[in-house]
Amino acid sequence: MFAVVRHRLTLALLLCLALVHGCGGGSQTASAPGVGSGGTGSYSAGPISGLGSIIVNGVRYDVDGAALSSEDTAAPGADDLQLGVVVEVEGGAVSRAATGADTAVATRVRYVSEFIGPVSGLPGGGARPTSITVLGQPIDVNAQTVLPTTPLANAEEVVVFGLPDATGRVTATRVDRVSSPPLYKLSGRVQSRNDVARTFTIGQVPQTVSYASGALPAGFAVNAYVRVQVQKTPIAPNEWAAARLGLRDPLVSDDREGRLEGLVSDYVVSGTTATGRVNGTSVNFSAVRGTSGLVNGARVEVEGRFNGGTLVASDLEVEDDSVQREVELHGFASSVTSTSLALNAYRSAFNVAYGVGVVDGGLNLVNGACIEVRGVLLDSGGFQASRIKADNDCH
């Protein structure tokens, strides 16, 4: 994916900076009783956790007719919608499923990366890293992170998708090689700004960003989480020339169902009121029972309805990042043997291995069968299935 990252030609001036306010494995679930669905649409934000078309926060979205957009390219394509890519999805009402993923039809999909640039800090011998560094910024890698099947090498250019925590440190959800990107990309909280010198600093390891003309957008402030595209050649060590600047308007609209996955930030409890942010989106947790252990930095999936730009939570799951989460794939089987098959799940190919008892007894597993496969990705690039069953919707 991202064989070439193209810059947006329609913006003549400098700088496109994305600014957001404040920004399975084992899980604990809490919910609020008596919260109806209502509304006519849905919004979901988080990493893609399954394919066929795409599954985000437990909703299987049909994206065939959706408008695609990205901060990183003027020509986004459906091939870029891979496991671990962080997306925002706007769509129709969600149809609840008795088992498996709920479903909806997407109208708009936007995918958002955090970093583009040379990678460093990799361990030797092709071992799986627990962290990497891009443009001086430390990035965490855990059991959920999707990495290239061929181990990365230091100095290779990569694109990183991920989830920022309360301090702005990012946990990667997917890391991919990228070929000859026209610009690099930095993300982090604003540490300082100097309007006279036309510079600001961002990041865990502060990087100075210089903007030659124009003004910073309203809402740009110290401690805001920003994404900024920069020229590939630094002005000096840890100093970069901004290439694009602009605000990213969220796809969120009121009176629609919302689902978010990300790291909690700005979490505050005052009496019976509990508020915070997930992926930079304001969330009211007050109606959800069992949130006494919720803390900043916890990875959660939260569901509710939007009111005044805030997601009023009705359900909450706290995820365990140390345990690899199950992936759900839908597609057509080929090259079927008694222990393996090839699966084409929404523009991605998987080599699936399975053992005794994994295939449902009623499934005639033959080439061309439309199937649902659950299991985990392997570092080798393979897929170990834990269940294979018949499906009636492969696209």
Query: What is the DSSP annotation of 215-266?
Result: -PPTT--TT-EEEEEE-SS-SBTTEEEEEE---------SSSEEEEEEEEEE
327-390 maps to CATH 3.40.50.300: no
Q: In what helix (H) or strand (E) does residue 190 lie, and over which residues does it extend? A: strand 184-194
CA–CA separation, 58 vs 299, rounded Å? 15
Strand partners, 46: 87
Tens-level pLDDT at each residue, the chain (395 residues): 433 333 322 222 334 444 443 333 444 444 443 333 445 799 999 999 999 999 999 999 999 999 999 988 888 899 999 999 999 999 999 998 777 779 999 999 999 899 999 999 999 888 999 999 999 999 999 999 999 999 999 999 999 999 999 889 999 999 999 999 999 999 999 999 999 999 999 999 999 999 986 678 777 889 888 899 999 999 999 999 999 876 566 677 778 899 999 999 999 999 989 999 998 899 999 999 767 778 999 999 999 999 998 999 999 999 888 788 899 999 999 999 999 999 999 989 999 999 999 999 889 999 999 999 999 999 888 999 999 999 988 87
Question: Distance between CA atoms of 56 and 258, rounded to whole angstroms?
Answer: 11
Q: Alpha carbon of 228 to those of 116, 198, 220, 225, 263: distances in Å?
A: 10, 14, 12, 10, 21
Within 10 angstroms of residue 249's Cβ, the number of other Cβ atoms is: 6
Compute the half-sphere exposure of residue 48: CA atoms within 13 Å on the CB side of its CA. Answer: 31
User: What pLDDT is stored for residue 321 in this prediction?
Assistant: 80
Cα(275)–Cα(253) distance, integer angstroms: 19
Amino acid at 166: A
Q: How distant, in Å, are the alpha carbons of 246, 263, 284, 327, 335 from that of 392? A: 43, 35, 38, 18, 20
**Cα gap 222→186, rounded to integer Å:** 16
Task: Answer whether 169's CB lies under 8 Å from 189's CB.
Answer: no
- Rounded to an integer, what distance in angstroms lies between the CA atom of residue 201 and that of residue 193? 6
Strands 327-334 and 310-319: unpaired
pTM over 0.85: yes
Token pair for 1: 């994916």
CA 206 remoteness from chain centre: 24
Could you tell me where the DSSP H helices lie in the chain? none
State the pLDDT at residue 352.
Answer: 98
The pLDDT of residue 26 is 45
Report how far residue 285's alpha carbon sits from residue 3's, in angstroms, rounded to the nearest whole number: 41
Q: How many angstroms separate the most distant Cα atoms in the chain?
A: 71
Domain boundaries, the chain: 9-260, 261-319, 327-390
Count Cβ neighbours within 10 Å for each residue of 276-296 and write b for 16 or more, e otherwise.
bbbbbbbbbbbbbeebeebee
State the number of CA atoms in the 13 A half-sphere of 113 facing the CB.
29
Nearest partner of 114 among 187, 202, 15, 166, judged by Cα: 187
Structure tokens at 79: 């091939």
Region for residue 180 given its phi and psi (left: phi exceeds 0; alpha: psi -120 to 50; beta: otherwise): left
Could you tell me if 238 and 186 are in contact, meaning their C-beta atoms sit under 8 angstroms apart?
no
